[in-house]
Structure 1
Amino acid sequence: MSIAAERIERLFALAKEATANGEFDRSREYVRLARRIAERNRCGLPRAFKRFTCPRCAVALRPGVNARVRLQDGHVAISCDCGAIKRYPYD
């Protein structure tokens, strides 16, 4: 695993922890920094990172804290407090 990938994983863990503590601005900064590292190093983001970050407000999503998770016909829908909805098929 490269240094960039390790750093992205660590930043995502910090973002989830900040969201759990209600520090949404700090979580947003961690997510933005991780995305910049991925762009700069041309490495992809992990699947969990893509699925549990909001595309609109760039905050880490924690079900029960700032996100709702619903199962619909053939896909999972995650709604952020800002109103953005992410959908992905069952795995």
Structure 2
Amino acid sequence: MTVAQERIERLEVLARDATAECNDDRAREYVRLARRIAERHRLSLPQQFKRFTCDACDAYLRPGKNARVRLQDGHVVITCDCGNQARYPYD
């Protein structure tokens, strides 16, 4: 595991903790920083990190707190407070 991957994982933990403490601005900064590191080192973000971040506003999503999760025919729809929706398939 490279240093960049370790840093991205650490930033994910920090973003999750900051969101739990209702510090959304700090969590956004952690998400933005992790994305910049991934782009710079040509890495893909971990799947869990991608699923729990909003592409539009960089918020770290917590279902029930700043995101709504709904199940529809064959996919999960996650709606952020900003209105952005992400759809992921499930079997």
* Aligned-pair CA distance for 1:21: 1.1
* Higher relative contact order, chain-length normalized (CA < 8 Å, sep 6+): 1
Give the SS at the match of 1:69: strand
Q: Does 1:52 align with 2:25?
A: no
Aligned runs of 1:24-63 on 2, under 5 Å? 24-63=24-63
Equivalent position of 1:11 in the other structure: 11
The TM-score with structure 1 as length reference comes to 0.96
Q: Distance in 2 between matches of 1:49 and 1:32?
A: 12
Q: CA RMSD in A?
A: 0.9
Percent of aligned pairs sharing the same letter: 69
Aligned runs of 1:71-86 on 2, under 5 Å? 71-86=71-86
Gaps of 5+ in 1: none
Give the 4+ runs in structure 1 shifted more than 3 A. none
Give the SS at the match of 1:56: coil
The TM-score with structure 2 as length reference comes to 0.96
Q: Distance in 2 between matches of 1:47 and 1:4?
A: 16
Give the SS at the match of 1:13: helix
Q: Distance in 2 between matches of 1:57 and 1:20?
A: 17
